[in-house]
C-alpha cells in the first residue's frame, strides 16, 4: 500500500512540475514580448529624436540658407553648401537604414518601413539636388532593402516638390482693413 501511495504522489509531483514548466514558459513568452515592445518603443523614440535633430539643424541660419539654395538654385551651391545639405540627406538615409535593421530584428514591419520612407522622402529628397545626390549614393546601397524600397520612392518624387511646398507655405498678405486704408 505504501508503494501505491508513493507512485501516486510521484505522479502528482510530476504533473505539478510539468504544469510549473508550462507556466514558466508562458511567463517567459510574455516577458520576451514585453521586452520586444519596450525595445521597439525605445528605437522608435530614438528615430523620432533623430528626425527632430535633423529638423532643428536645418532651421539654423547657415544650414537653412544652404538647404533653400539646394531647392531654389542648386547650380549656385558652394562646396560648403553641398556638404551641409548632404549631411542631412545622410542622416535621413541612416534613419531609414535603422528602420531596416529594426525590420531584420522583427521590431518593425516592411509596411511600417515603407510608410515611413514614403512619408519623409518628399520633404528631404523632393528636389533636383537631393535626387541627384541619391543617384550618386545608390551604388553604395546596391543589393540592400534601401535600394529596393527607397530607390523607387525617391525616383518617383517630383523634383519640384520642395520648391512647390515652400511656395504653397507662404500666406499672401491679407487685404488692408477699412480702418487701415483710411489712415
So where are the chain's domains? 43-171
Q: In the chain, which residues have pLDDT < 50?
A: none
pLDDT at 54 (0 to 100): 80
Report how far residue 174's alpha carbon sits from residue 143's, in angstroms, rounded to the nearest whole number.
Answer: 52
Q: Where are the alpha helices (DSSP H) in the chain?
A: 2-58, 61-72, 79-104, 110-125, 128-137, 145, 151-155, 161-169, 178-182
pLDDT at 182 (0 to 100): 52
What global pTM score does this model have?
A: 0.72
pLDDT at 6 (0 to 100): 82
Give the phi and the psi of residue 160 in degrees, each rounded to 5.
-105, 10
> Which of 93, 77, 52 shows the shortest CA–CA distance to 128?
77
Contact between 27 and 48 (Cβ < 8 Å): no
Report how far residue 42's alpha carbon sits from residue 48's, in angstroms, rounded to the nearest whole number.
Answer: 10
Classify residue 27 by its DSSP letter: H
pLDDT digits (tens, 9 = 90+) for 35-50: 877 777 777 777 777 7
Cβ neighbour number for residue 69 with a 10 Å cutoff: 19
106 Cβ contact list (under 8 Å, min separation 6): 36
Report how far residue 170's alpha carbon sits from residue 30's, in angstroms, rounded to the nearest whole number.
Answer: 51
The SS3 assignment for 170 reads coil
Amino acid at each position: 500500500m505504501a508503494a501505491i501511495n508513493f507512485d501516486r504522489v510521484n505522479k502528482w509531483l510530476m504533473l505539478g512540475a510539468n504544469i510549473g514548466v508550462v507556466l514558466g514558459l508562458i511567463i517567459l513568452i510574455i516577458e520576451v514580448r514585453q521586452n520586444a515592445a519596450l525595445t521597439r518603443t525605445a528605437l522608435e523614440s530614438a528615430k523620432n529624436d533623430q528626425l527632430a535633430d535633423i529638423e532643428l539643424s536645418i532651421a539654423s541660419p547657415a544650414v537653412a540658407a544652404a538647404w533653400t539654395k539646394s531647392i531654389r538654385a542648386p547650380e549656385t551651391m558652394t562646396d560648403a553648401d553641398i556638404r551641409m545639405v548632404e549631411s542631412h540627406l545622410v542622416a535621413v538615409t541612416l534613419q531609414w537604414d535603422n528602420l531596416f535593421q529594426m525590420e531584420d530584428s522583427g521590431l518593425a514591419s516592411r509596411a511600417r518601413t515603407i510608410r515611413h520612407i514614403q512619408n519623409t522622402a518628399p520633404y528631404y529628397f523632393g528636389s533636383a539636388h537631393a535626387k541627384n545626390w541619391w543617384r550618386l549614393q545608390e551604388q553604395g546601397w546596391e543589393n540592400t532593402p534601401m535600394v529596393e524600397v527607397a530607390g523607387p520612392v525617391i525616383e518617383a518624387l517630383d523634383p519640384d516638390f520642395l520648391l512647390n511646398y515652400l511656395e504653397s507655405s507662404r500666406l499672401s498678405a491679407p487685404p488692408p482693413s477699412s480702418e487701415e486704408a483710411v489712415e
